[in-house]
Structure 1
Amino acid sequence: MDIVVIGGGPAGRTAAIEASSIGENVTLIERDKIGGTCLNEGCVIVTGLNDVAKFIRDAQNFKNLGLINYDYQLYFDNVINGIRETVAKIRHILEIETKDAGVEIDRGNARLENNKVILDNKEIEYDKLIIATGARPFVPQIEGFENAITYKDILNLTELPEELIIIGSGVIAAEFANVFSGFGTKVNVLCRNKFLGMLDEDIKKYVTENLLPDITIHENLSVNTIHKDGISTGNGEMNGLVFFATGMVPNSEVVSNLVDLGERKNIIVNKRMQTSNEDIYAAGDVTGGIGTTPVARAEGVTAARNACGIFKEMDYRFIPGAISLQQDVAFINAQNKTDGINGHMKGSAGPGSFWRVHDGKTGFTKMNIGEDGNINEIFSVSPSSRTSMAYMSKLLREGQKVEDFDDFMEVHPSTDAIYKLLRFFARFE
C-alpha cells in the first residue's frame, strides 16, 4: 500500500516511520525543514534560550549569596547563532533517522488532485493520505499588526530588545517573557483575559511572584494600535518591540475542499484520526487539538496504524502539560472532576533547588483528590516536575488511585513533592 504523509513535523515524521515499520511504501512530503515548528521555531528554541536564562539567574543568585564573584556580558547574536547551529545538527539527525526507517522524503508545496499529490511536476499516487501540516501563529488584525513579530521571527533578531511587549496569555507568552526578562529586557505581558488561565490560582500566584517577578502583567487589557516602537491601549502608550503570542491557525488549506473543517479551520477527525474522507487521516496541530509534541507524535502513530488497517484510538485522558521557566511548571488538569479536597506542599532542597532555600523559591505542588480516591488535578513547580508528570500521566491512565502511592519509593534526593503529597493523602484514605 502506498501512503503519503504531508508534513515533516513530530506528527508527520512519526506517522511516516510508523507506517514504514509496518511494511508500507511511505513518502513524506515537507515543504521546508524536517522537524516542524517544535524543532525549528518553537519548544526547542525556547529550550536553548531558557538554558542561558537559567544560567544567568542561577549565577545572580550565587553572587547574591556570596558564593561567586560574577559579572557577565550576554552576546545575544552568539546565542541565536548557537541555537541555529544546534537545531541544524538535530534536524540532520532526524532526516537520517527518517530515511533509515525506509521513508522517502520529497520536498515542495503539495496540492491534491484525484487521489494524487501534485508536487511541482511530479505526481505521487496514494492509497491513504496523512495530513500533518501543523499550524502557524494567529495574528490579530489590530491596526498596525505588521509591526509585530511572532515566535517565527525570534531567530531573525539581530540584537536583544531593550523592551518587549508580549500580547498573549498562554504558555508561549509566559515562556518568552521568562527568557527575555532573564536576559535583561524589560517585559510587559498584555492579556485580553487572564494570564495562564490553565493553572490553579495558587500555582499561578507562585509562578508570577517567584518565577516571573520582573515581568509586568496586565490582565483584561485590549490593544488599539501597534506602532513600530510600541502600542496604544485604552490606558495609554507603551514602548517596546511587540510580540504576538495569541494562538495558532491550522494549516489545513491543502485539504480544505476534501474533508470537513471546524470553525477554526481545523481538520475534524475521530479518535482514529480519520477525517470525513475515509482515505485521509490527520494528526498534530492541524487538527486543532492539544498542541504539544508528545500528543502530535501519539496522533501520528494512531493515524498511521489505522491507515495501515490496524485499529487504534487516541487516549486523551490525563494529558500532561508544562511551561519552561526557571523551574518547570507541570500539570495534569481535571477530567470529569468530582468533589474532593485540595492539598499543597512546598518543594524541598535537592538538585536544582538547594540554593533556593534562602529565598524560599524551592517550588510548590498542589493537587485535588476526589472522594473516591481518584486524582483529579496535579500542579507542580520543581526542577523535575516535567519528568514526574509524564509518569504520573501514565499511572493515572492505568487507573492508579491515591492509596496506590502509600508504598511509593522515590530516588533521593528529590525536589518533587508530588509523591510526598500523595503518600500524605494515602494515609487518610
Structure 2
Amino acid sequence: MKVVVIGGGSAGRTASIEAAQIGEEVTLIENDKIGGKCLNTGCMVVCGLNDVAKFAINAKKFNQIGITDVNPKIDFEKVADGVKNTVGKIRGVITSETKKAGVNIISGKAEIREGFATVDGIDYPYDKLIIATGSQAFIPPVDGVEHAKIYKDILNYKKVPEKMIIVGSGTIATELAGLFSAYGTEVHILCRTSFLKDVETDIRNYIVEKLLKNVKIHENTSVSEIYPDGALTNSGRMEGEVMLAVGMNPNSDLVKHLVETGKKGEIIVNKRMETSHKDIYAAGDVVGGIGTTPVARMEGVVAARNACGVASEVDYSFIPSSISLYYDVSYIKSDEEGITGHIPGSAGPGAFWNVLDRETGITKVVVDKDGEIKGVSSISPSARSVLVYMSKFMKDGYKTYDFDNFVETHPSTDAVYKLMRYFSKFE
C-alpha cells in the first residue's frame, strides 16, 4: 500500500516513520524544512535562547550576592547564529533517521487531488493520505500590522531590542517576554483580556511576580494601529518593537476541497484521526487541537496506524503542558474540585542559590477523597521532566498511597512526591 504524508514536522515525520515500520511504501513531502515549526522556529529555538537567558539571570544574581564579578554582554546575532547552526545539525540527524526508516522524502510544494499528490509536475499516487501541514501565526486585521514581527523573525534580530511590545496572552507571549527581559529588553505584554487565563491562579501569580518580575503586563488592552516603532492602544501610544503572539491558524487550504473543515479552518477528525474522506487522515496543529509537539506525535502515530489498518485511538487525558522560562512551568490541568496541597519548590540543582530570595518555585497537587490524583502543577528546574511521568501515573490510575514507598533521586528539585506522600498519610 502507498502512503503519502504531507508535512515533515512533529506529526508528519512521526506518522511517516510509523507507517514505514509497519511495512508500507511511504512518501513524505515537505515544502520547507524537516522538523517543522517545533525544531526550526519554535520549541528548540526557545530552548537555545532560554539557556543563554538563564545564564544572564544567574550571572546577575551571583554578582548581587557578591560571589562573582561578571557582567556578560550578549551578542544576540552570534546567539542566533549558534541556534541556527545547532538546529541545522539536529535537522540533519532526524532527516537521516527518517530516511533510514525507509521513508522517501520529497522536497517541494504539493498539490492534492483524488488519489495523487503532485510536486513539480511529478505525481505521487496514494492509497492513504496523511495531512500534517501544521499551522501558521494568526495575523490580526490591524492597521500597520506589516510593521510587526512574529516568532519566526526572532533569529533575524541583529541586536537585542531596547523596548518590545508583545501582543498576546498565552504561552508564546510569555516565553518571548521571559527571554527578552532576561536579555535586557524593556518588555510590555498587551493582553486583550486576561494574562495566561488557562493557567491556575497561584501558578500564574508566581510567573508574574517571580519569573516575569521585570515585565509589565497590561490586561484588557487592545491594539488599534501598529507603527515601525510602537503601537496605539486603548490606553494610548506605546513605544517599542511590536511582536505578535495572538494564536495560530491551521494550514488546511491544501485539502479543503476534499475534507470537512471547521470555523477556524481546522480539519475535522475523530479519535482515529480520520477525516470526512475515507482515505485521508490528519494530525498535528492542522486539526486545531492541543498544539504541543508530544500531542502531534501521538496523533501522527494514531493516524499512521489507522491508515495502515491497525486500529488505534488518541488519548487526550492528563496531557502535560509547559512554559519555558527561567524555571520550567509545567501543569496537568484539572477542572475538578478536590483537596489541594501546595508547597514551595525544593532546593537543589538549578534552585540552590535562589533559596536566599525564597524563589525556589512552587508545587501544587489536587486529589479527591479517595486519593485519586486530579491535577498537578509545578514550577521548578525539573518540573517538565517530573510532570511527564505524573501524566503516565494518572493515566494508569495511581493514587496518593502508591507513593508511600517512593524513593527519589537526590538531590532533586522535585517536590511532587513530597505532596503525594503527605496525602497518603490520610488515606
Bucket of the pairwise TM-score, normalised by the shorter protein: over 0.9
AA paired with 1:185?
Answer: T
5 Å matches for 1:81-230?
81-230=81-230
CA–CA distance in structure 2, aligned partners of residues 419 and 196 of structure 1: 26
Aligned to 2:416: 418
3-state SS, counterpart of residue 355 of structure 1: helix
Deviation per CA, 1:94-144, whole angstroms, max 9, x where unpaired? 111111111000011111122111111100100000000000001111111
Pair 1:388-2:398 in alignment: no
Return the offset for 1:371: 2.2
Match of 2:417, SS state, is helix
Query: Shift of the alpha carbon at 1:224?
Result: 1.2
- 1:407 Cα deviation after fit: 1.7
Q: Distance in 1 between matches of 2:300 and 2:281?
A: 9
Shift of 1:372: 2.9
Aligned to 1:319: 319
Q: Are the aligned partners of 1:149 and 1:244 in contact in 2 as well (CA < 8 Å)?
A: yes
Query: Would the aligned equivalents of 1:115 and 1:125 in 2 still touch at CA under 8 Å?
Result: yes
Which position in structure 2 is the counterpart of 1:355?
A: 353
User: Quick one: distance in 2 between partners of 1:343 and 1:365?
Assistant: 8
Deviation at 1:198, TM superposition (A): 1.9
CA deviation profile, 1:4-56 (whole Å, cap 9, x unmatched): 00000010000000000010000000001000000000010000100000001
- 2:338, 2:51 → 1: CA distance? 38
Q: Match for residue 253 of structure 1?
A: 253
CA deviations on 1:178-212 (whole Å, 9 max, x unpaired) are: 00000000000000111111211111111111111
Structure 1 segment 286-305 matched on structure 2, within 5 A: 286-305=286-305
Measure, in 2, the Cα distance between the counterparts of 1:53 and 1:121: 46
One-letter code of the match for 2:219? E
**Deviation (angstroms), 1:159:** 2.0
Structure 2 CA distance for aligned equivalents of residues 140 and 346 of structure 1:
40
Query: Which amino acid is 1:155 matched to?
Result: L
| Contact 1:223–1:233, Cα closer than 8 Å, also in 2 | yes
3-state SS in 1 of match to 2:262: coil
The size of the alignment, in residue pairs, is 427
**2:369 maps to 1:367:** no
Paired letter, 2:308: C
Aligned residues of 1:199 and 1:379 also touching (Cα < 8 A): no
Could you tell me how far apart the structure 2 residues matched to 1:113 and 1:329 are? 43
Q: How far, CA to CA, are the matches of 2:144 and 2:416 in structure 1?
A: 46
Match of 2:234 in 1: 234
Task: Return the alpha-carbon distance in structure 2 between the equivalents of residues 389 and 232 of structure 1.
Answer: 40
Deviation >3 Å, runs of 4+ = none
Letter in 1 for 2:92: H
Helix, strand or coil: the match of 2:106?
strand
Letter in 1 for 2:38: C
Q: CA deviation at 1:374?
A: 1.8
C-alpha separation between the residues in 1 aligned to 2:184 and 2:64?
Answer: 17
Q: Counterpart of 1:377?
A: 375
Q: Please tell me whether the aligned partners of residues 189 and 218 of structure 1 are also in contact (alpha carbons under 8 angstroms).
A: yes
Contact 2:144 2:226 in 1 (8 A): yes
Structure 1 CA distance, aligned partners of 2:326 and 2:388?
Answer: 19
Q: Please, which of 342, 345, 350 is the counterpart of residue 344 of structure 1?
A: 342
TM-score normalised to structure 2 length: 0.99
Tell me, yes or no, if the aligned pair for 2:149 and 2:244 is still in contact at 8 Å.
yes
Give 1:342's aligned amino acid.
Answer: T
Q: Is the 8 A contact 2:76 2:157 kept in 1?
A: no
Q: In 2, are the aligned partners of 1:167 and 1:190 still within 8 Å (CA)?
A: yes
Shift of 1:403: 1.8
- SS at 1:117 equivalent: strand
State the 1:156 CA deviation. Answer: 1.6
**The residue matched to 2:189 in structure 1 has which SS?**
strand
Counterpart of 2:330?
Answer: 330
Letter in structure 1 aligned against 2:12 = G
TM-score between both structures, scaled by the size of structure 1? 0.98
Q: Which residue of 1 aligns with 2:4?
A: 4
The AA in structure 1 aligned to 2:232 is S
Specify the code of the residue in structure 2 equivalent to 1:352: G
Report SS of the residue matched to 1:161: coil
More deviation in 398-407 or 322-331? 398-407
> What code does the residue aligned with 2:228 have?
K
The answer for unaligned runs of 5 or more in structure 1 is none
Q: Counterparts of 1:191 and 1:109 in 2: how far apart (Å)?
A: 36
Contact 1:166–1:189, Cα closer than 8 Å, also in 2: yes
Q: Percent identity?
A: 55
